[in-house]
Amino acid sequence: MRQKNRNSASFISTARRAWPDGCALTACCLWSGVTEAQRSASQSALQPASTQAQGIELLWWIMLWSGVVIFLAVMALLIWALWSGRQRESPLSLTASKNLVLTAGVAIPALTLVILVGGSLFLGRSVASAPPPDAMQVRITGWMWWWEIEYLDSAGNITATTANEMHVPVGRPVAVELASGDVIHSFWVPQLQGKTDMVPGKVNSSWFVATEAGEYRGQCAEFCGLQHALMAFVVVARPEAEFDAWLAHQAEPAAAPVTAATQQGRDVFEQSCGHCHRVRGTDATGNIGPDLTHIASRRTLAAATLVNNRGHLAGWIGDPQRIKPGNAMPRSLLTPQELHNLLTYLETLE
């Protein structure tokens, strides 16, 4: 049994919905509920925070209202048709029938489609266009079931590596290179950009410009096996200066342990965790699991499944298979003292 009392991350805790509980089932309620929803961090495509997602949202509202008009018109015609025969039989003449089919069944749909397809292609061209040359380059690799995030400099060298948490500067284009290490995943941050698949043997790309500072949740959108449901991540958009400081910090190796406990914790990490995980600046150089050089600076654990705090970290290290069955991390066999030291050490990896 997974633990039920797990607190979720702060970036989603504010995302309470505005519609009435459980009964928002009529069309009106539903769609107005969407507009009234608080503009808070969430995973909703209807609370866009980038130029790309805003464009798509606008397209949605246009299509929704055209759709509503068309639906009501067809239903009105249908009801009229059914009603007109109630008293006595009064069929349409052949010409009237032909005109009805040619106008409502051919001409109007054709015209609407030309407009919709044209608009969609126009928008699509800009959404799918190549990123501007000054865009920041980030390479994201999907793994079962977490995200490896590497920041690249202009020459394509990796400057910093992190996992499941991506920071981006507000107002600057971010180009993401999308790859996969195992099966197909899909990169999706609804508030920032539509999804793009991560296909093994292929490098896809996407880009966006975050227009507002904030935290945005992303989730894998292509079924990728057992824990597809718990493969999420968080994007933190912040002012450029803050972002630059963050990136510079992430690029540094881990702080050297100073106390005896943290030194022992590092030794435990190197022996027990270092085959799979890397902490730059130590002998732990594994590359099977996420890079943990700055794990204490991250908001979540286990691909945005748990809030990152000491208790959750202890629970995760103790039995990752209980929280996310099937993931690649085995149960650890540490003594309580070792675990204690390890946690203390990890907490210093700001």
Partner 1 sequence: MKTQAIYDQNPEATDLLSRTWRSPPGFFGWFTHVNQSRIGYRFIVTSVIFFALAGVLALVMRLQLISPENTLLGADFYNQLFTMHGTTMMFFFAVPAMEGLGIYLVPLMIGTRDMSFPRLNAFGYYVYLIAGISLYVALFMGMAPAAGWFSYVPLANIAFSPGKGMDLWTTMITFIEISALAAAVELIVTILKQRAPGMTLNRMPLFVWSILVMSFMILFAMPTVMAGSVLLALDRAFDMQFFVAAGGGDALLWQHLFWFFGHPEVYIIMVPALGIVSTVITTFTQKPVFGYTALVLSLVATGFVSFGLWVHHMFTTGLPHLGLSFFTAASAMIAIPSGIQIFCWIASLWGARIRFATPMLFVLGFFAIFVIGGLTGVMVASIPFDSQVHDSYFVVAHFHYVLIGGAVFPFFAGLYYWYPKMTGRLMSERLGRWSFALIFAGTNLTFFPMHQLGLQGMPRRVYTYLSDMGWGELNFAITIAAFILAIGFLLTLINAVVSRTRGVAAGNNPWQAETLEWATTSPPQNYNFRHLPIVHSRTPLWDEPDSSHRQVVAGLRADRRELLITTLLEAKPQSVLIMPHPSVWPFLLALAVGFGFLGFMFQPLLFVAGFALSFFMIVGWLWPRKPWLDTGET
Helix (H, G, I), strand (E, B) or coil at 165: strand
Q: Which of 39, 65, 92, 249 binds partner 1 (CB under 8 A)?
A: 92
Q: Is residue 90 at the binding interface for partner 1, with CB under 8 A as the rule?
A: yes
Q: How far is the CB of 251 from partner 1 (least distance, A)?
A: 29
Q: Which of 143, 151, 188, 243 binds partner 1 (CB under 8 A)?
A: 188
What is the tally of helices (H) and strands (E) in the chain? 10, 12
DSSP 240: H
229 CB contacts (<8 Å, ≥6 apart)? none
Q: Which of 156, 201, 333, 336 binds partner 1 (CB under 8 A)?
A: 201
Query: Do 293 and 165 contact (CB within 8 A), yes or no?
Result: no
Q: Is residue 333 at the binding interface for partner 1, with CB under 8 A as the rule?
A: no
Helix (H, G, I), strand (E, B) or coil at 345: helix
Helix (H, G, I), strand (E, B) or coil at 146: strand
Token representation of residue 9: 């991350």
Cα(139)–Cα(181) distance, integer angstroms: 12
Q: How far is the CB of 290 from partner 1 (least distance, A)?
A: 19
Residues linked to residue 149 through DSSP beta bridges, in sequence order: 140, 162
Q: Is residue 285 at the binding interface for partner 1, with CB under 8 A as the rule?
A: no
Q: Is residue 106 at the binding interface for partner 1, with CB under 8 A as the rule?
A: yes
Q: Which of 162, 242, 311, 325 binds partner 1 (CB under 8 A)?
A: 325
Residues linked to residue 24 through DSSP beta bridges, in sequence order: none
The letter for the amino acid at 169 is P
Half-sphere exposure of 213 (CA within 13 A, CB side): 6
Query: Do 166 and 149 contact (CB within 8 A), yes or no?
Result: yes
Q: How far is the CB of 237 from partner 1 (least distance, A)?
A: 17
Which segment (40-48, 253-261, 277-285, 342-350) binds partner 1 by CB under 8 A?
Answer: 40-48
Q: Is residue 319 at the binding interface for partner 1, with CB under 8 A as the rule?
A: no
Report how far Cα 332 is from the mean position of its chain's Cα atoms: 30
Closer CB to partner 1, residue 190 or residue 265? 190
Token representation of residue 68: 């509503």
Closer CB to partner 1, residue 38 or residue 259? 38
Q: Which of 141, 161, 219, 282 binds partner 1 (CB under 8 A)?
A: 219
Closer CB to partner 1, residue 235 or residue 343? 235
Q: Is residue 193 at the binding interface for partner 1, with CB under 8 A as the rule?
A: yes
Query: Do 264 and 341 contact (CB within 8 A), yes or no?
Result: yes
User: What mask of x and - would describe binding to partner 1 in positions 47 to 76, judged by CB under 8 A?
Assistant: ------x-xx--xx--xx--x--xx--xx-
- Interacting residues with partner 1 between 121 and 160 (CB under 8 A): 121, 123-125, 127-128, 144
Q: Is residue 299 at the binding interface for partner 1, with CB under 8 A as the rule?
A: no
Q: Which of 51, 205, 297, 344 binds partner 1 (CB under 8 A)?
A: 205
Task: Single out the residue of 188, 182, 144 nearest to residue 166, CA to CA.
Answer: 188
Q: Is residue 109 at the binding interface for partner 1, with CB under 8 A as the rule?
A: yes
